[in-house]
Amino acid sequence: MKNILLNLTKNNNIRFSIILLVALFLLVGVRKNYLDNNLTRYHDDEYHTVLLAIKSIKTGHVDNFRALEGGRWMYRLFYPGALIKMSQKMGGNTAISGWSRVGHKYILENYLNKDISAHEVKQRLEKDPNLRDFFYYLRLQSILFVFVCMIPLLFYCYKHKYYFALVFLIVFPSLNSQLSNEQGYAYIEPLLLGFISIVISLFLYLFQKRKISSFMMIFIGFVSAFIISVKFSSLFFVLLLCAVPFLNKEDKFSFEVLLKKILTITVSFIVFFILINWYGFFGSFNEMLHDFVSNFWNYSNGQRLEAGNKSTTGLLYNFYRTVTNLRALMGYAIYLVPLIVYFGFKYASKEQRVKYGIILFVLLLSLFGLMKQVEFLERNLVPFYIPFLFLVGSLLSIVFHAFQKKKDFKYLKASYYIGVVIILVLYTPEIYGQKNYLFPNKISNIHKAIHRVPDLEKRNMGYININKSILDNYSNLQTNISSDIYFVKANYKEKIMTFTERLSYNDVILVDRRCDNYYQFSNFILPTYYDTNEQYGDYFVFYNKNLKVDNSQTLYKEKVVLANQLVLEQIKIKRLNSKGYELSIILEEFSNLELLKNKYIYFHAYSYKEDVKFLPSDRIEHGFENFDLSEFNISKEFGKPVIKKIFMPKLEKYESFRFGLVDIKKGKKLLKKLSIERIKL
C-alpha cells in the first residue's frame, strides 16, 4: 500500500491534482465557511455592481458610471446561477404563492422595487433569508471565479518547481483576514484578483512563445479592455500585455510586423472597450464621462481625511499603511522581501530577469499610483496581493534553485524545509488570535445567537431537524415541532396550518434546513411569523424581539366555515386601558378576503336582564349594545388575516356576544351566525 501511494505521488498529474484539492479547500472552502457565518454583511459599493447590474436588465440603462461595466458584466453572468440557487431554497408552492413570487420577479420586488439605501438593503438582508441566499451565491461564484483564474498560475509554479510561490499563493491569501473580508462582498476588488491572475498567466505564457498569432493579439485587446473596465487602477498591469509585441523572439525583426501587432491590439482594445461599456457609450455617454472623471477627483482630494490631521495622508503615510497590510499578508517575513528580491535577481538567468523585472516594475508602478492618492483605500491593495506573492515566491525559489546547482550544497531538501519553517515562524505572530475570524464555527455562533434573545428564560424553544445534543443546555426546550409534517402539493395548506397552530409569539424556533423540504420552514413560513432571524450556514434562530405580555382573552376557538374559502378560526378581545377593548376576528391563513365584499358582521352584546337598565338609553328597549362591523379593518398577524374592531362596552359582564355575517347584496341575508355565552370582561 505504501509503495502504491509513493508511485501515485510520483505522477505529476496526480501530484498537481492533490495541490489543487488543497488549494480548493484553503482558497474556496475557508472562504465559504466565512460566508456561511457572515450572511448579513453588505457594503455600499455593492450598489455600484450588483444593484445597477440587475437594474439594467430591467430598465436597459445604467444610472451611475463611477465604476465601468466590467464588474457589472461579471455579476450579470453570475446572476442566473444565484437566482436558481435562491429559488431552490425559497419554499412556497405554486398553488399558494403562484409563479410570480420566485426568481427574477422576487429580486425586482424585494431589492429593486424602489430606490433603497445601503442601510435599507442591510435591514432587508437581516430579515429575508431569500435575499441572503441570493447574495451568498453571488459572492460564492466570485470566490470560485478567482480560484479558477489562479489555476494556470499555480500550474506554472508547479511546472517550474517554484514551490515557495505555490505555498505563498495558496496559504497566505487563505489565511488573510482582509482578503476574507473583501471576498465576503460582491463588488470589484474580489473580481480583480482573478483578472490580474489571468493577466500574469497570459504574460508568462506569451513570454515563452516564439511567435504570437493574430488571434492572440485580439485576445490581448479583449483582456486589456475588460480588466480596465473592471477597475481603472489595473491600467499598469495592462502594460504586461502591451509589452508582448516588443518581446519579439522571431528570427527576423520586422518593424512592419511589430506595427501590425500594435495596431491589432489597439483596434481590438477600442472595439471591445466600447462593447463592454455599451450602456455608457450608446445610452448615457454624458453621465458616464462625468461620473468616471469625478472618481479621479474623489481619489485626488479625499473624503475620509481626519480633520486637522495632515499625518493621515501623503505618500509616506500611505507607504506605512501599505507595508502594514503586506505584513498582515506575510507576517514579519515581509521584511525579508528586499533580500529575496536582491538575491532572486542576482541568481536569475537573463530571461528570468527580464520576465520578473517587468512584473516587478508594473507592480511597483501600481503600488506607487495607489500610495500617491489622497483618498487611500486599503482594499485597493487587495488585487495586487497575487502578483506580489507570486513574484516574491518565484524569486525565493530561484535562489534555492541556484543553491541546488552548487556542488557543495548537499542539503537542498533540508534547506527548503528550513526556509518554510522560517517563513511560518515569522508569519505566526500575525495569524495568532485570528482563528475565530478566519474559521468561524456555525454551531458556536448559533449558541451565541440564542443567548442574545431577550428574556430567553421566559420563552419556550422549539426546534426543527436540530440535533438535540446541540441543545442539551437549554431547559426550556420543547419537542421537534415538525416531526410529522411532510409537504406535498396535495396537503400543502393543511400542513402549513397544522404547523402554524403550534407556534406562539414568544417562542424561539431553531431550524436546520438541510433535510427534505425544510426550506418551507426557514425561508417561507417562519420569516412571516417572527420579526428577527439569525442565520449561520443552514442553521436559523427565529424569535420576536419584544416579549409579549398577552392580556387578550380568547372567546372562541373553533373553525367555522363562513363561506367557501372563508374560514373563521378564533375570536379574541383585548383590553386597551382607557380606550376600551379591541375585538379580533382571526381568519384562516389562506382565506379569500374578496368574499367579504358587500358584507358586514353584526356584533351584538346582550346584557343580563337585571343589567338592561345600565345600557345606553337608546339600547335599553333592544336589550343589547350594537358594535356592528360595517367596514373591515383587516391586518395580518402570524400570516393570518385579522379583522379588528375597537368597542367601548358599558358593562363588565354580558349574557352573550352574538355575531353574524350578512350579505348586503342579497337583501341583508344572514349567511352565518354565532353566539358566545357568559362573557366576563
**Chain segment 264-315, per-residue pLDDT in tens:** 989 999 999 999 888 878 777 777 777 777 776 766 665 555 444 444 567 8
Is a pLDDT exceeding 70 seen at residue 563? Answer: yes
The reply to whether 371 falls in a domain is yes
| 448 and 427 within one domain | no
Half-sphere exposure of residue 508: CA atoms within 13 angstroms, side-chain side: 25
Beta strands (DSSP E) in 505-612 are 508-512, 532-536, 539-543, 552-563, 566-575, 581-587, 599-606
Per DSSP, what are the bridge partners of residue 203?
none
pLDDT average, residue stretch 623-646? 81
Q: Pick the residue with more confidence: 144 or 312?
A: 144
For 508, the 3-state DSSP assignment is: strand
The reply to whether 544 falls in a domain is no
For 541, the 3-state DSSP assignment is: strand
CA distance 114 to 639: 24
| 480 and 574 within one domain | no
For the segment 313-353, what is each residue's pLDDT rounded down to a tens digit?
A: 678 888 888 888 888 888 888 888 999 999 999 999 998 99
Instruction: Return all residues near 117 (Cβ < 8 A) that are at least 6 apart.
Output: none
CA distances from 371 to 63, 239, 305, 323, 326 (A): 30, 19, 15, 11, 13
pLDDT for 134 equals: 93
First vs last Cα of the chain: how many Å apart? 83
pLDDT average, residue stretch 180-205? 89
C-alpha torsion angle, residues 605, 610, 613, 618 (rounded to 10): 30
Q: Count of domains in the chain?
A: 3
Is a pLDDT exceeding 60 seen at residue 478? Answer: no
Per DSSP, what are the bridge partners of residue 625?
605
The reply to whether 545 falls in a domain is no
Lowest mean pLDDT among 36-45, 115-124, 181-190, 536-545: 115-124
Q: Could you tell me which of 524, 543, 440, 443 has the C-alpha nearest to residue 485? A: 524
Lowest mean pLDDT among 53-57, 490-494, 593-597: 490-494
The reply to whether 343 falls in a domain is yes
Instruction: Return all residues near 49 (Cβ < 8 A) that are at least 6 apart.
Output: 67, 71, 72, 75, 186, 187, 188
Asked if 179 and 382 count as a contact pair (C-beta separation under 8 A), the reply is: yes
Average pLDDT, the chain: 82
- Burial code (b: 16+ CB inside 10 Å, e: under 16) for 64-95 equals ebbbbbbbbbbbbebbeebbebbbebbbbbee
| 340 and 403 within one domain | yes
Cell 358587500 locates to: 598
Q: Cell triple for residue 284?
A: 448615457
Per DSSP, what are the bridge partners of residue 587?
568
Phi/psi of residue 566, nearest 5 degrees: -140, 100
Instruction: Return all residues near 69 (Cβ < 8 A) that are at least 6 apart.
Output: 62, 229, 276, 277, 278, 279, 280
CA distance 69 to 55: 13
400, 435, 470 — which closes off a domain? 435
The reply to whether 84 falls in a domain is yes
Q: Cell triple for residue 599?
A: 358584507
**Percent of the chain beyond pLDDT 70?**
84
User: What is the 3-state composition of the chain as percent helix, strand, coil, each rounded to the nearest 5?
Assistant: 60, 15, 25
What crossing angle do the helices spanning 118-127 and 129-159 adopt, rounded to 10°? 100
| 623 and 599 within one domain | yes
For 560, the 3-state DSSP assignment is: strand
Lowest mean pLDDT among 39-53, 250-264, 515-529: 250-264
CATH number for the domain harbouring residue 584: 2.60.40
Lowest mean pLDDT among 35-49, 360-374, 428-442: 428-442
| 450 and 430 within one domain | no
Q: Could you tell me which of 197, 136, 170 has the C-alpha nearest to residue 27? A: 170
Cα four-point dihedral sign 50, 53, 59, 62: positive
What crossing angle do the helices spanning 188-207 and 70-88 adopt, rounded to 10°? 120
538, 572, 599 — which closes off a domain? 538
Q: Identify the domain containing residue 673 by its residue range.
A: 552-680
Q: For residue 411, what pLDDT band results from cuts at 50, 70 and 90?
A: low
| 570 and 506 within one domain | no
Question: Which one-letter DSSP state was computed for residue 206?
Answer: H
Cα four-point dihedral sign 227, 231, 232, 233: negative
pLDDT average, residue stretch 529-536? 91
pLDDT for 307 equals: 43
Asked if 108 and 116 count as a contact pair (C-beta separation under 8 A), the reply is: no
Question: Which one-letter DSSP state was computed for residue 212?
Answer: -
CA distance 227 to 241: 11
Is a pLDDT exceeding 80 seen at residue 65? Answer: no
Q: Could you tell me which of 194, 227, 186 has the C-alpha nearest to residue 70? A: 227
| 144 and 25 within one domain | yes
User: Can you give the C-alpha Rg of the chain in angstroms?
Assistant: 34
- Which amino acid would we find at residue 14? I
The reply to whether 546 falls in a domain is no
Per the document, the length of the chain is: 681
Q: Cell triple for residue 8?
A: 501515485
Three-state SS across 426-445? HHHHHHCCCHHHHCCCHHHH
CA distance 252 to 258: 11
Question: Which one-letter DSSP state was computed for residue 622?
Answer: T
CA distance 475 to 477: 6
Cell 465559504 locates to: 32
Highest mean pLDDT among 215-219, 432-436, 460-464, 466-470: 215-219
| 357 and 459 within one domain | no
| 649 and 511 within one domain | no
Is a pLDDT exceeding 60 seen at residue 156? Answer: yes
pLDDT average, residue stretch 133-158? 94
Is a pLDDT exceeding 70 seen at residue 431? Answer: no
Q: Are strands 477-480 and 461-464 parallel, antiparallel or unpaired?
A: parallel
Residue 333 CB burial class (10 angstroms; 0-12, 13-18, ≥19): buried
pLDDT average, residue stretch 537-547? 90
For 606, other C-beta atoms within 10 Å of its C-beta total: 20
CA distance 495 to 341: 68
| 561 and 418 within one domain | no
Give the full edge-to-edge strand order of the sheet including 640-647.
Answer: 552-563, 566-575, 581-587, 640-647, 633-637
Is a pLDDT exceeding 90 seen at residue 394? Answer: yes
- Which amino acid would we find at residue 240? L
**Percent of the chain beyond pLDDT 90?**
24
The reply to whether 227 falls in a domain is yes
pLDDT for 435 equals: 59
| 232 and 193 within one domain | yes
435, 461, 482 — which closes off a domain? 435
CA distance 40 to 45: 15
Q: Are strands 640-647 and 633-637 parallel, antiparallel or unpaired?
A: antiparallel
Half-sphere exposure of residue 628: CA atoms within 13 angstroms, side-chain side: 10
Centroid of chain to Cα 391: 32
| 499 and 602 within one domain | no
Phi/psi of residue 678, nearest 5 degrees: 50, 80
Q: Cell triple for residue 327?
A: 505584513
The reply to whether 383 falls in a domain is yes
CA distance 116 to 313: 33
Phi/psi of residue 449, nearest 5 degrees: -65, -40
- Structure pTM? 0.77
CA distance 233 to 231: 6
Is a pLDDT exceeding 80 seen at residue 205? Answer: yes
CA distance 225 to 199: 12
Phi/psi of residue 174, nearest 5 degrees: -70, -25
Q: Could you tell me which of 69, 68, 54 has the C-alpha nearest to residue 116? A: 54
Per DSSP, what are the bridge partners of residue 674?
659
Q: Pick the residue with more confidence: 142 or 244?
A: 142
